[in-house]
Amino acid sequence: MHHRQRDRNEDGEANAQPQHAARATAFDAAQKGREAFAKLECYSCHEIKGEKFPAPTEEGKVGPELSAMGPLHDPDYFAEALINPSAVIEQGKGFEAPDGSSKMPSFNDSMMVQELIDLVAFLRSLKPPTGAGHGGH
């Protein structure tokens, strides 16, 4: 009985052969974070270029496109953005409600701690689809 989900091979994406355990762990966490992103329907407000989630639907509440996020912030920042969205609002982009709080809802009642960890790994793994090479060197 394996607890890791390795049977989700989409387009061979999950076929990467990590060189050592640390990479395998980071890879699994990012993969699980991707599933949490779908499960919690983060895509209803966030586009991620290069991913295959449905397009954002939340008229007037749409948040930033996230594909370039990974290298920009450290894990603490992403954790805080998820636990306390109003702590880190970029000003002047229509991301705040009239009372100054974030239009991003709190997920603290629906998100498991493990999902939070995996989501942070997923966000950290995001790189823009262009300018980042085509995999392989």
Examine residue 70 and tell whether it contacts ligand HEC (CB under 6 A).
Answer: no
CA–CA separation, 85 and 7 (whole Å): 33
Examine residue 34 and tell whether it contacts ligand HEC (CB under 6 A).
Answer: no
The answer to whether residues 66 and 126 touch, using CB atoms and an 8 Å cutoff, is: yes
DSSP 41-57: TGGGT---TTS-PPPP-
Burial state string for 11-36 with b = 16 or more CB within 10 A and e = fewer than 16: eeeeeeeeeeeeeeeebbbbbbbbeb
Examine residue 89 and tell whether it contacts ligand HEC (CB under 6 A).
Answer: yes
Q: 67 vs 85, which CB is nearer to ligand HEC?
A: 85
Q: 31 vs 102, which CB is nearer to ligand HEC?
A: 102
Contact region for ligand HEC (CB under 6 A) — 8-16, 22-30, 59-67, 124-132? 59-67
How is residue 116 annotated by DSSP?
Answer: H
Exactly one of 29, 46, 118, 126 binds ligand HEC (CB under 6 A); which one? Answer: 46
Exactly one of 48, 82, 121, 126 binds ligand HEC (CB under 6 A); which one? Answer: 82
Contact region for ligand HEC (CB under 6 A) — 9-17, 23-31, 60-68, 125-133? 60-68
Exactly one of 14, 24, 45, 117 binds ligand HEC (CB under 6 A); which one? Answer: 45
Exactly one of 30, 102, 118, 124 binds ligand HEC (CB under 6 A); which one? Answer: 102
Write the CB contacts of 90 (distance below 8 Å, at least 6 apart in sequence).
64
CA–CA separation, 43 and 57 (whole Å): 8
